[in-house]
Structure 1
Amino acid sequence: MATLNSIAQSLENKSILITGSTGFLAKIFVEKILRVQPQVKRLYLLVRASDAKSAKRRIDTQVISKELFRVLRTKHGDEFDSFISEKICPIAGDMAVEDLGIQETHLKQEIMEEVDIIANVAATTSFDERYDVALNINAMGADRVMAFAQRCHKLQMFLHVSTAYVCGCKSGLVLEKPIRMGETANGQNNLDIEAELRLAEKELKELRARGVEKTEETAAMKELGFKRARSFGWPNSYAFTKAMGEMLIGESRKDLPLVIIRPTIIESTLVDPFPGWIEGFRTAGSVIMSYGKGKLKCFPSNVDFPIDVIPADMVVNAMVVSMVAHSWQPQAFIYHVGSSKQNPTTTSLLADCAHRYFSNNPVKGKDGRAISVDKLFLYTSLDDFKKYMNFYYNVPLQVLRLANFALFNVWGRLHRDLTRKYNFAMYLAELYDPYVFFDGRFDDSSAEGLRMAMKASGMKEAELFNFDPKCINWEEYCMKVYYPGLVKYAMVQK
């Protein structure tokens, strides 16, 4: 491992190409670098856009204008816009095509000659994404970025953000080890990525040949993703295709320095640039806010298993430190960034904090009235949860449907509203089942080694780039940071 003297200083005069820059994690990564090292040379931000003007508009509206940048904006004052113009170069492109879809020849050449680091943060993170889309972005997109990296003249680091759940539905201690080409999560080791691509293409052609509606096409491609993922031991198309992405870049990297960051369940920032910032509902956040809005009264979860949550700023800190530590080293390094080994929390703690928080700080409904919440009941198996939901919700819904039909749709709106809530609860339960019943802990020995190296070097920046989960007080995080952040930044009041 390289000697860690100064993380921020190591970023001085560096040019970094960042994919997925309009995404939640990449925004925090961009803001962090600009704030800790204003002398960074250039950040090339690849965005899906038709031309340079559209790319700039997306970066301005979806990145720079966000509340996340208020600390940086205050720091630079009237010079903020000129600072951003100097340091950020929006790039119109598309990971779905060769050369990342960069059409401007001079700009493509400039990047290949100037870029020191490539950070591939782009991904579709939906657990139920269409299989063709997930394959194209999470698997083949990563491979295309690596192919582009091979043509960069002075590249010293390829940083790839994956997910800890590429391990599949394993139990026990999950090690920080690479995934070999063709390796499956259920031990069959018979995965052929080219065959998966052909299968997705064949299915899509057949659907379109039949002239199905777009919604039916999407549903069929989502179902294909779930089916293929589970046949190889992964819980969904997201984890499955991220695993394929790791296989592809591991196979094609040659001797290029590579760091793979595998975060667990990423939620709101703990400290940096300020506590609680989040964008949209993440994995746990959608369940928490559904409960706070009165839409969810029970949920399946094993209360004894750890739920591996990690604040987003800690993930970004691990990204920055690892890419600096391993620049120019022609090996591949893998880091789990999570909490389940060092400082685990549980769904029971999250649920208890949610009850206390939303009891004291109730969400207001559409009528302006405070929504009252009872304590979230946790079922210890998905089957028990389904039985409860069927008896107390589905059966009464069917009775209401029949009564509504007999009385000329007098309760039509009520039936639709209750049906929507029932379907949403069942959807969340099925979607998150592999995570709330995940009986494993993620080994972070490599990450711990990196933290120890920072301490051993006596770095003054250790706190600035902290990614040690042992410092998290989960009750305080939930009550004072995470849940208030969800309400303030992620929830759209209607």
Structure 2
Amino acid sequence: MNSAGTTMQDFLKGKTILVIGTTGFLAKVFVEKILRIQPKIQKLYLLVRASNTDLASHRLQNEVFQTDLFKVLREKLGEDFNSYIAKKVVAIAGDLGVENLGIKDNNIKNVMFEEIDIIVNSAGNTKFDERFDISMSVNTKGALHVLNFAKNCHKMKVLVHLSTGKYLNQNTSKLSSNEVIFQEKPFEIGESLKGTSKLDIEIEMNLLEKKLDELRALNMDENKIKHALKDYGIERSNLHGWPNTYVFTKAMGEMLLVHYKDNVPLIIIRPAMVTSTSKDPFPGWIEGQRTVDSMICTYGKGKLPCFLGHPKTILDIIPADLVINSVIAAMVINSNQAPKNFIYHVSSSLRNPLKVSDVHKISHQYFMKTPYINKNGKPIVISKGIALKSLSTFNIYVTIRYALPLKVFNLVNNIICHSFQDVYDDNYKKIRMVKKIAKLYKPYVFLKAVFDDTNTENLRRAAKSYNMENEELEFDPTSINWTDYMMNTHIPGLVKYAMK
């Protein structure tokens, strides 16, 4: 039980944390937060994929500390910023896909084993259709390599693994006649989403190696091998019931962690679709386009005359700073113990739902009020567009949109045909590409489900026993006004950072 007056920041005093995946979006938010709220942190080991320490340090400077995210801390410390970073941060060159995280220097490795209190693994390849070998190396094997490293850390208090809430799994129950609720439960080793297939992770790894050998024996060039391995990843994922390579390999990584964790205090955080920071360190910071953002950005540029997704589908999104606040809370409250309930869904769908129709409406309002300026300096005029309620309707619409001349397309713009012959013209490759992307997003924009967050709600209650100064560790999704957040924070953030 927390003693009166103690803050979560107090827990971080004198601690040494290893952060993996440091150049990624969420890890940067975590690192910035720790350095800003607890200057008495002992040390941050930041693992970066690089061949040596100098290159790792260079990547950290260019890709992490020089980003806008650190402007609040930079302004706060002024001329002392660089010396503060140098004092608190140690760049570690490594590779998640290799045993011992690819750390070659045994002296450094042994010092880390002595000093590390906490490990936060935020690494992951998030491309839905990445090469199967790359996704397997990072998302599946990498998770096990982190666990094995944690077992060698003598002061290990907690291992936090950031996973994803984006997969469809068997841990569901009925919420209503049309909706299911995904439970905060771990995957069992070998669990397949299709009863007709048996998932054996070792066999999957062996089949992948065999596939690689076959492709190389055919003397294929690297580009062909890349596409073959992308297709193979989707094929294996679909065989076992997962919609794409990303969620399949992340699920297998979770299985290995849970099965082999032994006495390591393990926390698995499953965030929903992560969006820009809502408040901290400032509103609207984001990197890249994350899931629904691609639709918003393309729509704002006038290149998307429709929204893919059933209007009533709930888009489970959550701002990045709320995710990181939940990570810190879980880290503090579960330190030194192996909690019974260690899966946390950091999501909004159950307590503060946002629908596809809401995002469509708000996006239209924003870009009508503040049009996106094209490269010629002229504002882009957008139309309201239509919402397409099924993938088949979307495919027909896209075929018409790209296959017919614009004048003809405008005449049939609001007519939904029931069949259409693909036109093999110069736009056929574009049609196939758009349809392929739509297929990858289908599980998320037509899914009638919400995510249970009972464990996370209990975590919020437990966190209230700490003095959370200025609500800087708040992670309650009911505090978000979606219209205000989307109009005044998230979409402006996308325009500034992701629509360049």
Aligned to 1:485: 493
Deviations 1:84-107, CA, capped at 9 Å, x for gaps = 000110000111111111111111
Gaps of 5+ in 2: 173-178, 410-424
Cα distance, 1:420 vs structure 2: 6.6
Distance 1:421 1:479, change over 3 A: farther
| Residue in 1 that maps onto 2:476 | 468
- Counterpart for residue 310 of structure 1: 318
Match of 2:28 in 1: 27
| Residue of structure 2 in register with 1:406 after alignment | none
Question: Are 2:384 and 1:375 equivalent residues in the alignment?
Answer: yes
Is the Cα–Cα contact under 8 Å of residues 42 and 87 in structure 1 kept in the other structure? yes
* Separation of aligned partners in 1, 2:213 and 2:444: 33
Structure 1 residues 474, 420: CA separation in 2 closer, same or farther (over 3 Å shift)? farther
Confirm or deny that 1:330 pairs with 2:338.
Answer: yes
| Change in 2 beyond 3 A, CA 1:395/1:213 | farther
Percent identity (aligned): 45
In 2, distance between residues paired with 1:269 and 1:424?
31
Displacement after TM superposition at 1:208 (Å): 1.4
Aligned to 2:363, which of 346, 354, 360? 354
1:293 aligns with 2:294: no
Q: Distance in 2 between matches of 1:147 and 1:187?
A: 31
Q: Give yes or no for contact 1:338–1:444 (8 Å, CA) kept in 2.
A: yes
* Change over 3 Å in CA distance of 1:388–1:423 after alignment to 2: same
Match in the other structure for 1:80: 81
Q: Give the SS at the match of 1:485.
A: helix
Residue 156 of structure 2 is matched in structure 1 by 155
**In structure 1, what is the Cα distance between the partners aligned to 2:196 and 2:167?**
15
- Equivalents in 2 of 1:2, 1:138: separation in Å? 35
Deviation of 1:202 after TM superposition, in Å, equals 1.1
SS in 2 for 1:165: coil
Contact 1:264 1:338 in 2 (8 A): yes
Determine if contact 2:272/2:316 at 8 Å carries over to the other structure. yes
Q: Do 1:2 and 1:326's aligned partners in 2 also have CA atoms closer than 8 Å?
A: no
- The answer to whether the 8 Å contact 1:3/1:325 transfers is no
Aligned-partner Cα distance in 2 for 1:114–1:183:
36
Shift of 1:321: 0.6
Unaligned stretches of 5+ residues in structure 1:
401-414
Matches within 5 A, 1:306-455: 306-331=314-339, 333-394=342-403, 422-455=431-464
SS in 2 for 1:341: coil
- Aligned CA distance change for structure 1 residues 184 and 108 (closer, same or farther; 3 Å): same
Secondary structure in 2 aligned to 1:434? helix
1:344-395 Cα offsets, whole Å, 9 max, x none, are 0011111111111111221222333221111131111111111222234335
Among candidates 277, 280, 285, match of residue 288 of structure 2: 280
Do the aligned partners of 2:300 and 2:367 also contact (CA within 8 Å) in 1? yes
Whether the 8 Å CA contact 2:8–2:468 is kept in 1: the answer is: no
Which structure dedicates a bigger proportion of its chain to helix? 1
AA aligned to 2:305 is K
* CA RMSD after TM alignment: 2.0
CA contact (8 A) 2:8 2:466 kept: no
* Deviation of 1:428 (Å): 3.0
AA in 1 matched with 2:230: K
TM-score under structure 2 normalisation? 0.91
In the other structure, the counterpart of 1:412 is: none
Deviations 1:49-75 (A, max 9, x none): 111111100101000000000001111
Report the secondary structure of 2:93's partner residue: strand
Q: 2:277, 2:283 within 8 Å by CA — same for their partners in 1?
A: yes
Q: Structure 1: how far apart are the matches of 2:134 and 2:244?
A: 13
What per-residue deviation string (whole Å, max 9, x for no partner) do you get for residues 114-170 of structure 1?
000000110001111111111110000010010111111110100000011233486
Q: Which runs of 4+ in 1 moved over 6 A?
A: 1-4
Measured in 2, the distance between the counterparts of 1:263 and 1:41 equals: 28
1:377-416 deviation line (CA, Å, top 9, x unaligned): 111111111122223433559x99xxxxxxxxxxxxxx86
| Deviation for aligned residue 1:2 | 6.9
Flag the 1:419–1:484 CA change in 2: closer, same or farther, 3 A.
farther
- Aligned match of 1:49: 50
- Give the Å deviation of 1:189: 6.8
Contact 2:197 2:239 in 1 (8 A): no
Q: Residue 236 in 1 paired to residue 244 in 2?
A: yes
Query: Is the 1:48–1:93 Cα contact (8 Å) retained in structure 2?
Result: yes
Q: Distance in 1 between matches of 2:73 and 2:197?
A: 48
> Which one-letter code corresponds to 1:489 in the other structure?
Y
